[in-house]
Homo-oligomer: A and B are copies of this chain.
Amino acid sequence: MKIIRSIVAMQAEARGIRQAGRRIGFVPTMGCLHEGHLALIRKARELADCVVVSIFVNPTQFGPQEDYTAYPRDLERDACLCSREGVEIVFHPDVAEMYPAGHGSVFVDEKELSAGLCGPFRPGHFRGVLTVVAKLFNIVQPDVAVFGQKDAQQARLVQEMVYDLNFPVQIVVMPTVREPDGLAMSSRNTYLSETERRQASCLYRALCRARELYDAGVRDSASLRAAMLATIAAAPAARVEYIEIVDVDRLKPLDVIAGKALVAICVRIGAARLVDNIVLDPSLCS
């Protein structure tokens, strides 16, 4: 397995791989890999001939009060996991390589799908995400890129970017991988104390409660939200940032659920800001 730190070298490598007729599968990450990432890597292996994983904690997607500095980093462990999963290249640039001084005035942004959910709480976040993903796509030149459903809004925005800007990349979104108690795998779970960790399963319990009511025929968002809030209230360390029920396409809030709906929740517990979601799909209704 190669570890590449330079953009020019990565682009040359990608060009060689593609000219040899091999398909590149790409998993962009911020490192601190967990089973969720590994599921993405395995999917990329399945869909492509050569898997590239990027490990880059992207400063431009963190707000000034956010956890950029604290974000966990462990390249050695990550490289070991990647190698074990058959990754061919780890792309691991430093910040000055990705954002050279005196440049960086051009950006990719969006104003509709990013207007709700995490958008208002993280100004500039999705601009940072879309810009770095556009950069990474141009550097790694993947045929297919795999994202996690846990960050549903991010995945939807990347899909829309690929569609709107015509990137020649197929986007695949994989289901959330969960701990035994239902907590979605996340690098940020490492911020939780033992007590906080126990309470963190409240996000998943709230989502399950929403699905239960939905399966019982409840379709108004206010009722689902109220039930979810009541579930979270049982976890004293949890402070709800938002609970939103939106359509899966344009992420617009729904008063009444008709088609496919995304139920998304964001809760702060201690130093961690945790997100999770489920999709309610009428065609799968029991």
Verify if A187 is at the interface (C-beta below 8 Å from B).
no
Q: How many copies does the complex hold?
A: 2
- Contact of A68 with B by CB under 8 A: no
Q: A165: which of B15, B110, B134 is its contact (CB, 8 Å)?
A: B134
Q: Are A164 and B15 in contact (CB under 8 A)?
A: no
Does A104 lie at the interface of the complex (its beta carbon under 8 Å from any beta carbon of B)?
Answer: yes
Inter-chain contacts of A138 with B (CB < 8 A): 165-168
Rounded to whole Å, the gap between the CB of A155 and the closest CB of chain B is 14
A: number of interface residues (CB 8 Å): 33
Instruction: Please tell me which one of the listed residues B15, B139, B165 contacts residue A166 in the complex, with CB atoms under 8 A apart.
Output: B139
A121 at interface by CB-CB < 8 Å = no
Most chain B CB atoms below 10 A, which of A103, A141, A168: A168
Of residues 126 through 184 on chain A, the ones whose CB sits less than 8 Å from some CB of chain B are: 130-131, 134-135, 138-139, 141, 157, 160-161, 163-168
- When distances are taken between beta carbons in the complex, the residues of chain B under 8 Å from A165 are 106, 108, 131, 134-135, 138
Q: Do the beta carbons of A160 and B106 come within 8 Å of each other?
A: yes
In the complex, the chain B residue whose C-beta lies closest to that of A164 is: B106
CB neighbours of A11 from chain B (8 A): 166, 168
A85 contacts partner chain B, Cβ-Cβ < 8 Å: no
Docked CA distance A197–B71 (Å): 62
Instruction: Pick the residue among B21, B130, B135 that contacts A106 (CB under 8 A).
Output: B130
Establish whether residues A109 and B112, one from each chain, have CB atoms under 8 Å apart when the complex forms.
Answer: no
Q: How far is the CA of A109 from the CA of B7 in the complex (A)?
A: 22
Q: How far is the CA of A234 from the CA of B134 in the complex (A)?
A: 49
Is the CB of A113 closer than 8 A to any CB of chain B? yes
- Tell me the smallest distance from the CB of A113 to a CB of chain B, in Å: 6
Q: Which residues of B have CB within 8 Å of A2?
A: none
A165 to B157 CA separation, bound complex (whole angstroms): 17
Indicate whether A105 reaches chain B with its CB closer than 8 angstroms.
Answer: yes
Chain B residues contacting A195 (CB-CB under 8 Å) are none
CB distance from A277 to the nearest CB of B (A): 20
Q: How far is the CA of A213 from the CA of B201 in the complex (A)?
A: 74
Name the residue of chain B whose CB is nearest to the CB of A107.
B109
Minimum CB distance partner of A249 in chain B: B102
Decide yes or no whether A19 CB sits under 8 A from chain B. yes
Closest approach, in angstroms, between the C-beta of A150 and any C-beta of chain B?
Answer: 21
Q: Does A198 contact B (CB under 8 A)?
A: no
Q: Which 4 A-B pairs have the closest CB atoms?
A: A106-B164, A105-B112, A138-B166, A106-B161
Query: Mind listing 23 A-B residue pairs with CB under 8 Å?
Result: A7-B166, A11-B166, A11-B168, A18-B19, A19-B21, A103-B163, A105-B110, A106-B108, A106-B109, A106-B130, A106-B157, A106-B165, A107-B109, A107-B110, A107-B164, A109-B109, A131-B165, A134-B134, A135-B164, A135-B166, A138-B166, A139-B166, A139-B168
